[in-house]
Amino acid sequence: MYSARNLANQYRQTSVSSAVLDADPHRLIALMLSGARERARLAVACLERGDLLRKSQAISDASAIIGGLNGSLNHEAGGEIADGLAALYDYAQRRLLEANTGNQAAPLQEVDALLADIETAWNSIGQAQPQAALAGGAA
């Protein structure tokens, strides 16, 4: 028997899967950043309601996504920026571990804020690219 909640979760998973399949590499990184932030916020909410099992799963998911982001860095092409992002991702991983072992919301909120800054910068790059392409095509 399907409940409304189960159907909503299935729809959400299908929607996310479709977004990933249709996304270009830039959009995939944006989705990963958004997903990691969502998991960090979910972990905070789980802590607040005492759901430690779900908190641990949300942190594990966030950690896996951040690991994927770190693994996607091209250190040859990205140089110092890629190195800086790798250091930030490593720091975020350590903070997630602290949040999980100490059942603390503050490190999760810090990771969310850190990833928000990266996400904002990343999304601004995506918005600038089409404009640059148009300018280049007009020259």
**Would you say residue 8 has pLDDT above 80?**
no
Distance CA 5, CA 86 (A): 37
Q: What pLDDT is recorded for position 125?
A: 87
Q: Span 7-24, mean pLDDT?
A: 56
3-class DSSP state for residue 137? Answer: helix
Query: Domain 35-120: which topology?
Result: Four Helix Bundle (Hemerythrin (Met), subunit A) (1.20.120)
Q: Which residues neighbour 69 within 8 Å (Cβ) at sequence distance 6 or greater?
A: 29, 32, 33, 36, 85, 89
At 116-134, the pLDDT tens digits run: 999 999 999 876 655 444 3
At 58-116, the pLDDT tens digits run: 999 999 999 999 999 999 998 999 999 999 999 999 999 999 999 999 999 999 999 99
Distance CA 48, CA 42 (A): 10
